[in-house]
Amino acid sequence: MKLQEIKDKTADELKEAIINAKGELFKLRIKHNKMTPLENPAQIKTLKRQVAQMKTVLRQKELQA
């Protein structure tokens, strides 16, 4: 998800997207920690970065309101 797409979302949509992304991140970590490693372990880093961006934009929107 691009930064502009994140900025275009409302606060409620961002909260929901953060919850979904954290769930997906948890699944990836569990899958990676088992005996079968991920095909693309960089997905974890990318997803963590997206969650951080969404939290930052959400906080900015809270401060503006």
Look-up: residue for tokens 């934009």? 57
Give the Cα separation of 58 and 51 in Å (integer): 10
Give the amino acid at 8. Answer: D
Q: Tens digits of per-residue pLDDT, 11-26?
A: 999 999 999 999 999 9
Q: Looking at residue 52, what is its pLDDT? A: 97
CA-wise closest residue to 8 among 57, 51, 65: 57
Contacts of 63 (CB under 8 A, 6+ apart): none
Q: What pTM was computed for the model?
A: 0.88
